[in-house]
Structure 1
């Protein structure tokens, strides 16, 4: 059985984990032009930077040349879903749902009224940004701080906490993702003048901790999960029983999620838990869950290949902590 993932995040180690679980499985991964290749997949392909029609032609050629049985796209999903391909295509949700999940403002609006909804303001101009910050400081929760991020973005790209610190404070420690709000507004105004300001969302910054739910779903039913609470010092607390599990299961059912996906919750200053986003793909951190025996990727590969049915998926009892470390490896000169 051959599975192909097109361009995505952390696919090489995910491919390796799936192959370790089933040595008969071949997992192909494709990457962008001039992108690094890593050990893990059975083979790594390089994607062309072509028009939609040319890309689909390349997809068809790749499927035929490599005898691909299952294609799991993490990029250009709408295009791929509308094409006739000579293999099974696995998507984590309907295309309309995937579009919703990729839009942070639309997604926040969709879950309004739930206990884990985080009020989110849409920003389309520098003037709207300035007004939204002023309104937030006047009417937001006591002591709360605002933050911004792109309306459409992944992996925390573009996230900034807005402060009233010294103007140069963000240069002292850029990794803190804190910037004086007047400078951010000025930067937004400059981008707007150049016609390059993309939509933003503004919301309350949540101090945490954050709980990342790695989930295996079958057509809207949560089969198993691993909840990873991110703690200081590179520690993650991994559990297969968690008080947020009913909320996670409700999300899987509501959005008819399928396969391995991820939801991120974070605790607000008032102690309540809010949902930041649903990632319609495996999170890179799922590898930590896999290493301690949760088996989400192993069971996913078994479901994909038909070695298991949903009713056969086990739910191990795991409650452990891991610490992330850095290892230096010598390489050839």
Structure 2
């Protein structure tokens, strides 16, 4: 097996071998160019706190310590803002030696400030599955800004499989950028490809959005349904800076347009905790072809999901807020992001999740 991120056709082979299993067959639309969408099961457990199974422990065995009540998702159920839920997923794994997995929230999930993390038996950290793991998977879901209506089969997070490690060093990243520009402008390469925030847009003074604190429920099956103005406050500025309020959630956009070549994948990662009292969500897998000409892109901005911590913080135009870590693919995927698949964010700029419409 080649080293790198496993593409769609390799995931199909894993399904055929039973290394990826499910209570109901995996659907073709779950397969992305370099990841697999995971589906919610039929039951959600309201728990009093987030928890990890811990080494040698099963999640199901720890659940009675934290369970408050359970809900049948069959007819749809509301996950309330500020509460923590545990949902068994339909998929389970039996990973072979040499293959590990990492999970992340899907783009639309992150843009709703819907904290979604993967748990597994014996896990001492979220979103990381070691080689040889055999067992069930669970999603921990904590709606932070909006209450949401969910049903079985909804796909809130995704999982990426790796054979060995193929993260590009800074020198390799610089060579790749010289061969095929990965970002508009001069690249900042330091532990990945740095990107900054755009607070001086060319198309007006709209910088982003801030989630309103008291809103209705969002049904995750409703696309382009909710008026944005009922859930979001527009953020505008004439001086290229904004003050982030503690506890508030913002949708902003990167200054740079990003490209992911067809034979690579990337993941958004935090930059430095020392740069300020805020966090840019790293709820982002970037698939092969994102922003790439071969997949109908001309560079795509990175949408930034920003939450401020303890103190108000001034965020200024061109401030570096995150980085993209690039990895080689083990093989090229059969389909690229944006090319023949339902890719909602190819060629994107500042954009809310697909659930909202203008108004």
Under a length normalisation based on structure 2, what TM-score does the superposition of the two structures give? 0.26
**Greater share of residues in strand:** 2
